[in-house]
Structure 1
Amino acid sequence: MKLINDIEKALIDASTSYPKDRIAAFKRALNNEEDENAIWALELMIKNAEIANLNKLPLCDDTGIPHVFIELGKDRLISHDFLVEIKEGISNGLKNLPGRPMAVKGNSIERIEQSKGLYDKSEMIKPPSILIDNYDGDNVKIHLLLLGGGPEIRANTYRVFHKRSYKEVLNIATERIIESLPLLGCTPSIPAIGIGRTHFEANSLLIKAMIYGNLDEQSDIETYLTNKINKANIGPMGLGGKTTAIGSFINIGHQRASGVRVVATRPCCFVEPRVATLEII
């Protein structure tokens, strides 16, 4: 029962509050911004975060699809019931948040066509398959992500010819992200990128980038990407200005002997990534 309650709380926390590095990044952007419209938008975003956190209200009306990533420490095992309790906690969290009712009724064809309508209850939204990995620690980590529709429909996984230059790969990824941001609308973005050998691996790396990325501790390549994106002058909510991105999260995995790299990009909107981590000792 404790796990169910803890997962419920984690989901609500992920939906209603920013981590400290996000708030700090917004404030840095506000202090650096000169465009009046951009300043106005950033101030509203910070105010929105304060109200959401104070009243435990969702940061965005699109409360997202819950995704779970589990990391197992040394000699740790999980059971069938463990996964069932995680899913029950997610259901309770969506009910009590409350989440937006987005689950589609019907069989496989009817769900694609959305011809039978939607369920009224937000807890009918089911998480996709759970991603599990091991790590060198001793505990069990449960990472919960809430992924909204805007970034998802503008995400891409594609091949890039690296031409023996990491900047070639990053520049092409940057071009794709910049193309997507005016359509996203909800800028400033935190673009997330995973670079691997397969589509599955690249997207798994992207998930880890969103979990472990830190806006207070940006790598050289993350800073490079952010600076290039900010030259686009898209600005907060597309209003122009210096702040098109407040940072970037990049995760590069193993690579195969090939002229091609598989690159997954996701232009997170200004309320994402929405992540909470629960650690079981």
Structure 2
Amino acid sequence: MDIIDCISEKIIKASTTLTDDKLKALTNAIEMEENENARWALSQILENYKVAQKTRFPLCDDTGIPHVIVEVGSNREITGELLNQIHEGVALGLDNLPARPMAVKGNAIERIEQSEGLYEKQGMLKTASILIDSSNDESTYKRDVHPDTLNLHFILEGGGPEIRAKTLRVYHKRSFYNVIDTVIDWLSDSLNLLGCTPSIPSIGIGRTHYEANALLLKSIAYGNLDSQSEVEQYVTSKLNETGIGPLGFGGKTTVLGSYVNIGNQRASGVRIVAVRPSCFVEPRVATLKL
């Protein structure tokens, strides 16, 4: 097995293919939607998905910033060679996608200013720092990781949701709902500005800003719309009550579901919350099992 080629194929799959649970959720939303404009928008989104999968074209021309989670069991090892193969495979997969350039040239200041232009090759859009994961946590998405497990999860994060994403502290006041309702209020405003609804918002609640965002990222890799917790159902229900609807047309379907990943907490008056309002082409995820 050529790992680099396999990784490249997974990047293409993540960019062009809809996961089964999201396809089911979208189909159900079309059947239940009573708003004519909203139903039309959802149908067009579904058609876009079908065309992308058939032609292997990206679901969106913003093919996303690549993020990788390495899920490792106790009997497996992560080598420097594997990490290099991940970077090479991701670059190859992005180069094989027809998409607009997004990687910025230049030194540190020039990259901030975007004054030197863009690389033509999509593969120059480097992978974000790789997250190593095991079963050694207490999060909502805690898994029973087999000792021989070595999974590579590839997530493509689009720019629009990142603009609307936020990491913030919330004073819990000894009430879970004070935290989650604060998050819902913020998401309601964010989704109204996003434009690319219906969303599947992701929420990570931890002790630090890093941990909250790591929990959020893991929720995207491990979350499933076919298996929603009571908290996720609550978030989904409240956000759908906003009436924003698909593409802002109104109706019942502002979100298709939610991912809420709650990790370890510390004795403190605050909880650190990371929130990301994914657009309708997300989550774009694919997994390679080695």
| TM-score, normalised via structure 1 length | 0.98
Instruction: Say whether 1:204 aligns with 2:214.
Output: yes
Residue aligning to 1:121: 121
- Aligned counterpart for 2:167 among listed residues 157, 160, 185: 157
Q: 2-side partners of 1:46 and 1:128: how far apart?
A: 29
What is the correspondence of 1:163-202 to structure 2 with a 5 Å cutoff?
Answer: 163-202=173-212
The aligned counterpart of 2:249 is 239
**Alignment check: 8 A CA contact 1:99 1:123 kept:** no
Kindly provide the amino acid, as one letter, of the partner of residue 178 in structure 1: S
1:252 is matched by which residue type in structure 2? I
What secondary structure sits across from 1:190 in the alignment? coil
Asked if 1:261 corresponds to 2:271, the answer is yes
Asked if the contact 1:187/1:244 (under 8 Å) is kept, the reply is yes
Provide, for residues 218-260 of structure 1, a one-character-per-residue CA deviation record: whole Å limited to 9, x for no partner.
1111000000001111000011111100100010001001111
Structure 2 residue 36 is the aligned partner of structure 1 residue 26: no
SS in 2 for 1:129: coil
* Whole-angstrom distance in 2 between the partners of 1:259 and 1:173: 16
For the residues of structure 1 that align with 2:184 and 2:162, how far apart are their CA atoms?
A: 17
Structure 2 residue 288 is the aligned partner of structure 1 residue 278: yes
How many Å separate the matches in 2 of 1:278 and 1:100? 26
Q: Does 1:11 align with 2:22?
A: no
* Cα distance, 1:98 vs structure 2: 2.8
Q: CA deviation at 1:164?
A: 1.5
Q: Provide the residue aligned with 2:103 in structure 1.
A: 103
4+ long deviations beyond 6 Å: none
1:110-140 Cα offsets, whole Å, 9 max, x none, are 1111111111111111112111122331220
Q: Report how far residue 79 of structure 1 moved.
A: 1.2
Separation in 2, partners of 1:158, 1:187: 23
Give the CA deviation at 1:163.
Answer: 1.4
Segments of structure 2 that go 5 or more residues without pairing to the other structure are 136-144
Aligned counterparts, 1:87-102, within 5 A: 87-102=87-102
Q: Which moved more, 1:98-107 or 1:226-235?
A: 98-107
CA deviation vs aligned residue, 1:127-172 (integer Å, no higher than 9, x gap): 1211112233122010100000000111011111111111111100
Deviation at 1:71, TM superposition (A): 1.1
Q: Distance in 1 between matches of 2:54 and 2:122?
A: 22
Letter in 2 for 1:198: T
The answer to whether the aligner puts 1:42 opposite 2:45 as a matched pair is no
**Residue 210 of structure 1 aligns to which amino acid in structure 2?**
I
Cα pair 1:146 1:275 within 8 Å, conserved = yes
Question: 8 Å contact 1:223–1:248 — kept in the other structure?
Answer: yes
Letter aligned with residue 169 of structure 2? R
Query: 2: distance between equivalents of 1:257 and 1:94?
Result: 43
2: distance between equivalents of 1:221 and 1:58? 32
CA contact (8 A) 1:235 1:243 kept: yes
Partner AA of 1:197 in structure 2: R
Q: In structure 1, the residue corresponding to 2:221 is in which secondary structure? A: helix
Tell me which amino acid in the other structure corresponds to 1:4.
I
- Residue deviations 1:2-51, cap 9 Å, x none? 11011000000000011100000001111111101000000001111111
Which residue identity does 1:121 align to in structure 2? K
Gaps of 5+ in 1: none
Contact 1:102–1:122 (Cα < 8 Å) also in 2: yes
Deviations 1:33-85, CA, capped at 9 Å, x for gaps: 11010000000011111111111110011100111110111221121111111
Output the CA distance in 2 between the equivalents of 1:123 and 1:262: 33
Match for residue 145 of structure 1? 155
Give the TM-score, by structure 2 length.
0.95
Per the alignment, residue 224 of structure 2 pairs with 214
Counterpart for residue 142 of structure 2 = none
